[in-house]
Amino acid sequence: MTEQRFLHGQWSSRMAFILAASGSAIGLGNIWKFPYLAGDNGGGAFVIVYLLCVVAIGIPLMIAETMIGRRGRQSPINTMLTLAEEAKASRHWHYAGWLGVAAGFLILSYYSVIAGWSMAYILKVGGGFLANADAQTVQAAFLDLKAAPDIQAIWHTVFMAGTLLIVSRGVHRGLERATRIMMPGLLAMLVLLDIYAMTTGGFGQGLAFLFEPDFGKLSGESVLVAMGQAFFSLGLGMGSIMVYGSYLPDHVSIARASIIVATADTAVALMAGIAIFPIVFAHHLEPGMGPGLIFETLPIAFGQMPGGSWFGLVFFLLVFFAAITSAIALIEPAVAYLSENLGLNRTAASWWSGAVCWLLGLGTVYSFSGGENGSSRNFFEWVDFLTADVMLPIGGILVAVFASWVIKREVSEAELAMGAAYAWWRALARYVAPGAVALVFLHAIGVL
Ligand code: PHE
């Protein structure tokens, strides 16, 4: 396998990997989705189930996926093929890689549209739109944006182009440099917003909402959503962290790096909730507003607060930074595959993959202009459900099973080099993670 080492480049240090993987994990999932899901699913109890999923399923899986990547050193599809052959297992395993690439395309297609909204807001809020804006004005602005497919399509195009510019510059000059600059910036902005939230009257209520569990509010469906969100937020089950693992130098401890990344991701989701809910409650607004929480509810509050325009601008910049460092991870598996198998150079591979995601994204652009269509899912909701609640968990089970049942024990033990903790990882990856995912599925479809 030596001739295949570092086909696309490698991270220059452990820190570079941690920043890039955190960049992949921390995204719209933390700042846009986690708060509105927690809001829709009743708060505290949802948060606890979410945390359990991160610890029992998320971390072992992140270790498994990164390890597979580092061992295979290629795009997820070819890595699965190579490692399956090495373990004398079926070549069909490489379909798990395909599933991941497909999920990445689907997620990025809508991700780019929502990230485009954040860019539209940066411009609007930066232009002083929020100064003394009343609730009606803010609501009308969001409705106008949703009803304007052309404007959304423009921002979707701009965001996608920005993503592709970074990706086409390569692992070192593109992914690594972007995350090295943006991740510290993101953290600083979030801390600032948390401090601001503490000064609002809703801080206690916001904390209580996030951390006081009321299990009566938890349905079977919410448990599935919490699990799906853990996969989505950690960026698991679709090859992103696998391809990032394939650029990881040999000596880095995968377990330690995974725990750091998962902790950072969880901390940022909670910090986003701690920034958002107090502001929402201080203005007597509803936490359960769905995807509009940060684009409609939150700006209403900002419009009425001292310094709201400033903090609003910081907030949407934060959303944008978080989104673009995840977008590059969503497309990297496809880019790596196209350069390996079709011999395309990085630039061509990036733009071709981006073009496909861009086209798919138009479906989401038009999902929001149709207004509410009762209880049936629109295009965006279908793509979201299919990816986060179905494809990622299935991809995750396949990764866990492959890493802990198919790959030989000597291989994973050597690759992980984690001493006595290895037995823990193995038990979690072999039994707990696949078992828990299966249980949650069966429960959600009503079998259990
Ligand atoms: N983890 C990202 C987020 O929370 C989304 C993502 C999913 C990134 C899958 C990479 C892979 O927004």
Ligand 1 geometric centre to CA of 234 (Å): 6
pLDDT of amino acid 5: 61
Predicted pLDDT at 368: 82
Residue among 26, 34, 240, 383 to mutate when testing ligand 1 (max atoms within 8 A of CB): 240
CA of 29 to the centre of ligand 1 (A): 6
**Tens of pLDDT along 236-266?**
999 999 999 999 999 999 999 999 999 999 9
The CATH code of domain 2-444 reads 1.10.4160
pLDDT at 373: 54
* Residues 338-376: tens digit of each pLDDT: 999 998 999 999 999 999 999 999 999 988 876 555 567
- Decide: 240 in ligand 1 pocket, CB within 6 A: yes
Which pLDDT band holds residue 220 (cuts at 50, 70, 90)?
confident
Binding site membership of 22 for ligand 1 (Cβ less than 6 Å):
no
Which tens digits make up the pLDDT trace of 12-34?
999 999 999 999 999 999 999 99
- Ranges 140-144, 313-317, 352-356, 439-443: which has the least confidence: 439-443
Domain boundaries, the chain: 2-444
Q: Which atom of ligand 1 is nearest to the CA of 330?
A: 10
| Distance from Cα 24 to the centre of ligand 1, integer Å | 6
Secondary structure of the chain in the HEC alphabet?
CHHHCCCCCCCCCHHHHHHHHHHHHCCHHHHHHHHHHHHHCCCHHHHHHHHHHHHHHHHHHHHHHHHHHHHHCCCHHHHHHHHHHHCCCCHHHHHHHHHHHHHHHHHHHHHHHHHHHHHHHHHHHHCCCCCCCCHHHHHHHHHHHHCCHHHHHHHHHHHHHHHHHHHHCHHHHHHHHHHHHHHHHHHHHHHHHHHHHHCCCCHHHHHHHHHCCCHHHCCHHHHHHHHHHHHHHHCCCCCHHHHHHCCCCCCCCHHHHHHHHHHHHHHHHHHHHHHHHHHHHHCCCCCCCHHHHHHHHHHHHHHHCCCHHHHHHHHHHHHHHHHHHHHHHHHHHHHHHHHHHCCCCHHHHHHHHHHHHHHHHHHHHHHHHCCCCCCCCCHHHHHHHHHHHHHHHHHHHHHHHHHHHHCCHHHHHHHHCCCCHHHHHHHHHHHHHHHHHHHHHHHHCCCC
Low-confidence winner among 4-13, 252-261, 404-413 (lowest mean pLDDT):
4-13
> Residues 151-167: pLDDT tens digits?
999 999 999 999 999 99
- Residue 448: the pLDDT is 67
By most ligand atoms within 8 Å of CB, the mutation choice from 36, 118, 233, 335 for ligand 1 is: 233
Which pLDDT score is estimated for 1?
A: 41
Q: Is the CB of 232 under 6 A from ligand 1?
A: yes
pLDDT band at 430 (very low <50, low <70, confident <90, very high): very high
Is the CB–ligand 1 distance for residue 105 below 6 Å?
A: no
The percent of residues above 70 in pLDDT, for the chain, comes to 96
Instruction: Output the CA 66–ligand 1 centroid distance in Å.
Output: 15
pLDDT, residue 2, reads 41
CA 447–ligand 1 middle distance (angstroms): 29
How many A from CA of 3 to the centre of ligand 1? 31
pLDDT at 248: 96
Q: What is the pLDDT of residue 371?
A: 55
Instruction: State the average pLDDT for the chain.
Output: 92
| Predicted local distance difference test score (pLDDT) of residue 412 | 97
- Per-residue pLDDT tens over the stretch 96-113: 999 999 999 999 999 999
